Structure 1
Amino acid sequence: MDQKKPGTRVRGSTTGRPVMVLFDVLGQRWTLRILWELRHGRLNFRDLRGRCDDISPTVLNARLKTLRELGFVDHDTDGYGYTALGADLAKKLATFDRWAENWAQSLDKS
């Protein structure tokens, strides 16, 4: 599999515009869930897998590899966690989460 990074072709973009690459990566199954589960701190592989409803180890390894290559996640003796760039992305995703909660409530009212 080719590494996903700005400037490379991804689903929906032949030019690899950064926003398209980001959405392609975030749209891969389990990627958002992995990022979501890291929001409270570092997790080792086993704990992260458990929080992701026992995602297959192969898929978790693949997603973590991509997230590490893109600079969103790193790994040290305490496990996997956000880089500074990943923490910034997580803040943006939290904004989407709040927006989605408001949106869902507005649908309930209609």
Structure 2
Amino acid sequence: MALFDLLGRHWTMGIIWNLEQGPATFRELQARCENVSPTVLNRRLAELRGAGIVEHSEQGYRLTRPGTALYGLLVPLGTWSKNWARRLERE
């Protein structure tokens, strides 16, 4: 349940999704996430670092090995949700 609580927070999954593209500095990640405020981004990064999903390196923030594995588990959910949305639009 702790994982679902973390993933359900505003911008958490967007940060994970964007870091899968590669490491990013704070500003680069903020630009990738477009509308995220610096306060929310900073808070989510701290939470994700505390959970061992994200780490800070010389290249910037990046997913850890467990973070990359988590992303791999989220991809099928993304596919499912797109199919679900299309089905709802047709109904």
User: Among residues 54, 61, 68, which one is paired with 1:80 in the alignment?
Assistant: 61
CA distance in 2 between counterparts of 1:80 and 1:101 reads 28
Any gaps of 5 or more consecutive residues in structure 1? 1-19
Aligned to 1:29: 10
Aligned to 1:47: 28
1:29-68 deviation digits (Å, cap 9, x = unpaired)? 1111111111211111101011112422222111101100
Q: Aligned residue pairs: how many?
A: 91
Structure with the greater relative contact order (CA < 8 A, sep ≥ 6): 1 or 2? 2
Are 1:109 and 2:90 counterparts?
Answer: yes
Q: Give the TM-score taking structure 1 as reference length.
A: 0.76
Q: Give the TM-score taking structure 2 as reference length.
A: 0.91
More helix by share: 2
Are 1:97 and 2:78 counterparts?
Answer: yes
Are 1:38 and 2:19 counterparts?
Answer: yes
Which of 1 and 2 has greater Rg?
Answer: 1
Structure 1 counterpart of 2:61, which letter?
Answer: Y
Aligned to 1:17: none
